[in-house]
Amino acid sequence: IQELFIEDYGEVFDIGLPTKEERRNFFEDLILNQAAKPPVSKKKAAWQALEVLPVAPPPEPRKLTQEEMQRIEEHEEDSLRELRIFLRDVTHRLATDRRFKPFTKPVNLDEVPDYITVIKQPMDLSTILSKIDLHQYITAGDFLKDIDLICSNALEYNPDREPGDRLIRHKACALRDVAFAIVKEEMDEDLEQLCEEIKESRKKRG
């Protein structure tokens, strides 16, 4: 190899051995400075590179066909028909109980003309029956709200002072307790759950 290069032509460059000082200067920067620098965080770089995107909205539910909607409504009506049959039976049993005769019909305003000024939302068992026939109850809970309204109206209009008023109050509380007990003990839990689902579904459908 030495014969291929001629020193007189400047083809040979003589490299002498580095001194101790030269070696120290070379490795000092490499070891003490460059090696001491922390590496670039890949996680941080990746985080900075990611663009924050808005959350995509959920897909809209598939629109039911007219035939599918009709089948759903027919199924719902079958369940609500069972509910109405049950509620009529409960209301009839309450109306035929002699204890609850004061609550079977609307209050006679000729006898108590100030009633309408005190009670803003009158309620009675005959009105409840009419609401059942008009399909205004979708759940037993809706029915019991009107039963509770009969009781609260009686308690509000009849203060606990006179014996006659106390008797009405006792009967109203008994009416509420009996109605709630009948529904709790005799109504099929699956039917009530289904009616609640129907109510929620119709609310979403508008």
The pair of structure tokens assigned to 164 is 């006659």
Q: What is the pLDDT of residues 162-199, one digit of tens each?
A: 999 999 999 999 999 999 999 999 999 999 999 999 99
Out of 34-48, 64-78, 131-145, least confident range = 34-48
Query: If you average pLDDT over residues 115-143, what whole number do you get?
Result: 97
| Predicted local distance difference test score (pLDDT) of residue 46 | 55
CA–CA separation, 167 and 180 (whole Å): 20
Spell 132-151 as b/e; 16+ CB within 10 A means b.
Answer: beeeebbbbeebbebbbbbb
pTM flag (> 0.75): no
Least Cα distance to 146 among 129, 123, 167, 163 occurs for: 123
Of the options 3.40.640.10, 3.30.420.40, 2.40.50.100, 1.20.920.10, the CATH number for the domain spanning 68-205: 1.20.920.10
Tell which phi-psi region holds residue 14, choosing left (phi > 0), alpha (psi between -120 and 50) or beta. beta
At residue 110, the 3 state secondary structure works out as coil
Mean pLDDT, the chain, rounded, equals 87
What is the amino acid identity at position 9? Y
Position 44 pLDDT exceeds 60: no
